[in-house]
C-alpha cells in the first residue's frame, strides 16, 4: 500500500503541470474546471483510483485543454502543454534524487519505511514520465508527436484516440509495454541512484 500515496503524488503533479502551462498560455479551461490545484482529489479518476489500489495500475482524469485560447503558434504551445506532465515527473524525480544525495552525504539515518517510500516515489515518477512519452493516444507522447507532423497526419493521430485506450490495455496486459519502457526506466533509475550516492 506504500505505493499508492507515491502514485497519487506523481499523478497529481503530472496533471497540475498540464493545467499550469495551459493557463500560462491563456487557456482558463482547466482552472475553470478546478484542476489548477495540487489537491489530488480534483485529479483522481474513480475507476482509475480503484484499479490503482487493486491492481497497482491506474490513471488520473485528463486535464481539459482548449488550444483555441492560445495566441500565436497553437501547435507548439500544445506540444509544451503536453510535455509539461512528463517534465514535472522528471523534475520531481530529480528533486527526490537531490534529497537522497544530501541525506547520504550527511550520513543521516532514514527510517526504512520512509526510505522505501522515497525510492518508490522516485521510481514511480520516472515510470510515469517515460510511460506518457510513448506516442500512442491518448498519452502525452502522441500529442507531442502530433505537433511535429503535417496537419493531415496530425488529424489522423487525434482520430486514433478513440481506439487508444484499447490499444494501451492490450499492450500493457500482454507485457509489450513493459519491454518497451523498462530499459529506459531502469537506466534513469540507475542514474538517479548513482547521483544520490546509493550505488
How many helices and strands, by DSSP H and E, does the chain display? Answer: 9, 0
For the whole model, what pTM was predicted?
A: 0.91
- Candidates 96, 159, 164; CA nearest to 129 is 96
Q: Which residues contact 56 (CB under 8 A, 6 or more apart)?
A: 3, 7
pLDDT tens over the chain, length 199 residues: 788 889 899 999 999 999 999 999 999 999 999 999 999 999 988 877 776 666 656 678 999 999 999 998 999 999 999 999 999 999 999 999 999 999 999 988 888 999 999 999 999 999 999 989 998 888 899 899 988 888 777 667 777 778 888 888 888 888 888 888 999 999 999 999 999 998 8
Residue 78: predicted pLDDT: 95
pLDDT of the residue at 54: 67
H or E, element range at 141: helix 140-146
pLDDT given for residue 53 in this prediction: 64
Active site members: 15
Q: Which residues contact 133 (CB under 8 A, 6 or more apart)?
A: 86, 139, 140, 141, 144
> Which among 44, 13, 15, 10 has a CA at the least distance from the CA of 125?
10
Residue 52, pLDDT score:
64
Radius of gyration of the chain (CA): 18
Task: Say which residue the cell 500482454 belongs to.
Answer: 174
State the Cα–Cα distance between residues 52 and 165, nearest whole angstrom: 16
Domain that holds residue 65: 3-196
Q: Match 483555441 to its residue by C-alpha cell.
A: 68
Domain count along the chain: 1
Residue labelled with grid coordinates 490503482: 52
Amino acid at each position: 500500500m506504500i505505493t499508492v500515496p507515491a502514485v497519487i503524488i506523481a499523478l497529481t503533479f503530472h496533471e497540475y503541470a498540464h493545467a499550469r502551462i495551459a493557463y500560462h498560455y491563456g487557456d482558463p479551461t482547466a482552472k475553470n474546471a478546478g484542476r489548477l490545484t495540487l489537491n489530488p482529489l480534483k485529479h483522481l479518476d474513480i475507476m482509475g483510483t480503484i484499479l490503482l489500489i487493486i491492481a497497482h495500475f491506474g490513471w488520473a482524469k485528463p486535464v481539459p485543454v482548449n488550444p483555441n485560447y492560445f495566441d500565436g503558434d497553437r501547435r507548439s504551445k500544445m506540444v509544451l502543454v503536453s510535455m509539461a506532465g512528463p517534465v514535472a515527473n522528471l523534475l520531481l524525480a530529480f528533486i527526490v534524487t537531490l534529497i537522497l544525495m544530501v541525506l547520504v552525504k550527511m550520513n543521516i539515518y532514514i527510517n526504512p519505511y520512509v526510505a522505501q517510500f522515497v525510492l518508490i516515489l522516485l521510481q514511480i515518477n520516472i515510470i510515469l514520465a517515460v510511460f506518457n512519452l510513448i506516442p500512442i493516444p491518448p498519452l502525452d507522447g502522441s500529442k507531442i508527436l502530433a505537433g511535429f507532423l503535417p496537419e493531415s497526419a496530425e488529424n489522423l493521430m487525434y482520430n486514433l484516440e478513440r481506439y487508444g485506450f484499447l490499444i494501451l490495455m492490450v499492450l500493457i496486459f500482454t507485457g509489450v509495454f513493459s519491454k518497451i519502457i523498462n530499459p529506459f526506466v531502469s537506466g534513469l533509475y540507475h542514474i538517479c541512484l548513482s547521483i544520490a550516492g546509493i550505488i
